[in-house]
Amino acid sequence: MFSWGENTRDGFGLVKSNDLVKANTDGCVNFIHLKSPVTHLSAGNKVVAFIRNNGKQVSLARMQDDKDGRRITGKLKGVECREKILALSCCDAHIILLSEEGRVFCLTQSSNVPSPVGNLNQVIQVACGDQHSIALTQDGKVFTWGQNSSGQLGLGEGEPSTLSPQPVKSLSGIPLAQITAGGDHSFALSLSGAVFGWGKNSAGQLGLRDTIDRAAPAPVDCLNLKKTVAVSCGGEHTAVLTKGGLVFTFGSGRYGQLGHNTLRNELRPRLVAELWGAKVTQIACGRNHTLAFVGSFKNIYSFGRGEQGQLGNGVKMDQSVPLPVQLPQDHIDDQQIEQTFAGGNHSFALCSSAKESGKGMNDSRVEKMIQTLDNDVIDRWILQCDSKSWKKIQKEITKTFSSASCLNGSFLDKRHDKHYQTSLKHSGLDLSLARMAFQRLAEKDKVLAEVEDVVQRILLPSLSKDPIGVEGLRVYLIIPELLRVLRKQQRGIDITEAFAAAVLRLNPDKLQVLEGLWSTLSDSFFRTVVKAFHSASAEYLQQMAVKRCDHGKSLKKTFGVLQRLYDANSKRRRRITVDTFHINKICSLFQSKLVQDLNSELRELVWDISGEDDTYWIESDMILSKIECYKDNILRLLKDHPCTLDTEAKCTVWMYAFDQIKDCHEDIEYGWFCDDTLKVDRETLLDDTFQHLRKTTCHMVAFKVKFQAENGVDEGGVSLEFFSLLGRELLTMEPKTLEVYESGLAWLTTDDGGITD
From CA 581, how far away is CA 558, in angstroms rounded? 12
Q: Which residue has the higher pLDDT, 656 or 97?
A: 97
Stretch among 329-338, 387-396, 408-417, 501-510 having the lowest mean pLDDT? 329-338
From CA 539, how far away is CA 517, in angstroms rounded? 27
Residues 560 and 676 in one domain: no
Domain count for the chain, please give it. 2
Q: Which residue has the higher pLDDT, 666 or 484?
A: 484
HSE-CB at 319 with a 13 A cutoff on CA atoms is: 22
Q: How far is CA 647 from CA 186, 208, 289, 701, 746, in A?
A: 57, 52, 71, 17, 8
In whole numbers, what is the pLDDT of the chain averaged over residues? 87
Residues 125-142: what's their mean pLDDT? 97
Q: Which of 575, 609, 626 is the last residue of a domain?
A: 575
Q: DSSP assignment of 603-652, as one string?
A: HHPPP-TTS---HHHHHHHHHHHHHHHHHHHHHHHHHH-GGG--HHHHHH
Confidence band for 629, pLDDT divided at 50, 70 and 90? confident
In 3D space, the residue among 643, 421, 637 whose CA is nearest the CA of residue 530 turns out to be: 643
The predicted pLDDT at position 18 comes to 62
pLDDT greater than 90 at residue 16: no
The predicted pLDDT at position 111 comes to 81
From CA 249, how far away is CA 257, in angstroms rounded? 9
From CA 244, how far away is CA 226, in angstroms rounded? 9
The predicted pLDDT at position 708 comes to 87
Residues 670 and 547 in one domain: no
Q: Which residue has the higher pLDDT, 20 or 186?
A: 186
Top mean pLDDT of 273-282, 327-336, 666-675, 683-692 is at 273-282
Count of Cβ atoms closer than 10 Å to residue 91 Cβ: 26
In 3D space, the residue among 250, 353, 418, 275 whose CA is nearest the CA of residue 34 turns out to be: 353
From CA 112, how far away is CA 671, in angstroms rounded? 73
In 3D space, the residue among 295, 315, 215 whose CA is nearest the CA of residue 303 turns out to be: 315
From CA 363, how far away is CA 93, in angstroms rounded? 25
From CA 672, how far away is CA 670, in angstroms rounded? 6
Q: Is residue 433 part of a domain?
A: yes
The predicted pLDDT at position 361 comes to 44
Residues 563 and 703 in one domain: no
Cis upstream peptide for 735 (omega within 30°): yes
For residue 714, give every residue at least 6 positions away whose Cβ sits within 8 Å of its Cβ, in sequence order, or none.
704, 705, 706
Contact of 638 with 590, CB cutoff 8 Å: no
Q: Using alpha carbons only, how large is the chain's radius of gyration in Å?
A: 35
Residues 576-593: what's their mean pLDDT? 80
Output phi, psi for 182, to 5 deg: -120, -145
Helices (H) and strands (E) in the chain, counts: 17, 34
Confidence band for 640, pLDDT divided at 50, 70 and 90? confident
Residues 560 and 704 in one domain: no
Q: Is residue 582 part of a domain?
A: no
Q: How far is CA 180 from CA 14, 15, 129, 215, 292, in A?
A: 27, 30, 8, 16, 17
Count of Cβ atoms closer than 10 Å to residue 212 Cβ: 11
From CA 517, how far away is CA 473, in angstroms rounded? 9
The predicted pLDDT at position 639 comes to 78
Q: Is residue 86 part of a domain?
A: no
> Helix 475-488 vs helix 523-546: angle between axes, to the nearest 10 degrees?
60
Q: Is residue 653 part of a domain?
A: yes
Q: Which residue has the higher pLDDT, 365 or 465?
A: 465
Q: Is residue 237 part of a domain?
A: no
Confidence band for 530, pLDDT divided at 50, 70 and 90? very high
In 3D space, the residue among 534, 640, 638, 642 whose CA is nearest the CA of residue 590 turns out to be: 638
Rounded to two decimals, the pTM is: 0.86
Q: Is residue 69 part of a domain?
A: no
Contact of 258 with 249, CB cutoff 8 Å: yes
Residues 358-375: what's their mean pLDDT? 65
Q: Is residue 732 part of a domain?
A: yes
The predicted pLDDT at position 544 comes to 80
The predicted pLDDT at position 670 comes to 44
From CA 381, how far away is CA 396, in angstroms rounded? 9
Stretch among 69-83, 144-158, 265-279, 407-421 having the lowest mean pLDDT? 69-83
Residues 554 and 464 in one domain: yes
For residue 136, give every residue at least 6 positions away whose Cβ sits within 8 Å of its Cβ, in sequence order, or none.
123, 124, 125, 126, 142, 176, 179, 370
Top mean pLDDT of 328-337, 505-514, 540-549, 579-588 is at 505-514
Q: DSSP assignment of 684-736, as one string?
A: GHHHHHHHHHHH---SEEEEEEEETT-----SSHHHHHHHHHHHHHHHT-SS-
Residues 419 and 554 in one domain: yes
Residues 426 and 561 in one domain: yes
From CA 471, how far away is CA 408, in angstroms rounded? 6
Domain span at residue 717? Answer: 647-757
Stretch among 192-206, 700-714, 736-750 having the lowest mean pLDDT? 736-750
Stretch among 26-30, 478-482, 521-525, 641-645 having the lowest mean pLDDT? 26-30
From CA 90, how far away is CA 568, in angstroms rounded? 50
pLDDT greater than 70 at residue 712: yes
Residues 620-648: what's their mean pLDDT? 76
Q: Is residue 22 part of a domain?
A: no
The predicted pLDDT at position 690 comes to 84
Contact of 259 with 321, CB cutoff 8 Å: yes
Count of Cβ atoms closer than 10 Å to residue 413 Cβ: 20
Q: DSSP assignment of 24-85, as one string?
A: STT--SEEE--SS-EEEEEE-SSEEEEEEGGGTEEEEEEEEE-TTS-EEE---EEE--SS-E
Could you give the percent of the chain with pLDDT greater than 70?
Answer: 85
Stretch among 49-53, 412-416, 439-443, 505-509 having the lowest mean pLDDT? 49-53
Residues 556 and 674 in one domain: no
Instruction: Decide the pairing of beta strands 673-680 and 700-707.
Output: parallel
Which amino acid appears at position 429 of this protein? L
For residue 396, give every residue at least 6 positions away whose Cβ sits within 8 Å of its Cβ, in sequence order, or none.
371, 377, 381
Q: Which of 524, 540, 575 is the last residue of a domain?
A: 575
In 3D space, the residue among 196, 298, 291, 205 whose CA is nearest the CA of residue 253 turns out to be: 205
pLDDT in tens, 464-487: 999 999 999 999 999 999 999 999
pLDDT greater than 50 at residue 363: no
Residues 330-347: what's their mean pLDDT? 87
Residues 514-537: what's their mean pLDDT? 96
The predicted pLDDT at position 331 comes to 76
The predicted pLDDT at position 619 comes to 66
Could you give the percent of the chain with pLDDT greater than 90?
Answer: 59
Q: Which of 531, 551, 575 is the last residue of a domain?
A: 575
pLDDT greater than 90 at residue 630: no
Residues 385 and 532 in one domain: yes
Q: DSSP assignment of 349-417, as one string?
A: EEEEEGGGTTTT--GGGSPPPPP---HHHHHHHHHHTTSTTHHHHHHHHHHHHT-HHHHHTSSB--GGG
Residues 438-449: what's their mean pLDDT? 96
Residues 545 and 691 in one domain: no
Residues 536 and 442 in one domain: yes
Judged by DSSP in three states, 660 sits in helix
Contact of 85 with 97, CB cutoff 8 Å: yes
For residue 338, give every residue at least 6 positions away whose Cβ sits within 8 Å of its Cβ, in sequence order, or none.
350, 351, 352, 357, 358, 360, 361, 365
pLDDT in tens, 167-191: 999 999 999 999 999 999 999 999 9
Residues 516 and 429 in one domain: yes
Q: Which residue has the higher pLDDT, 525 or 44?
A: 525
Residues 451-475: what's their mean pLDDT? 96
Contact of 296 with 308, CB cutoff 8 Å: no
In 3D space, the residue among 17, 15, 66, 71 whose CA is nearest the CA of residue 44 turns out to be: 71
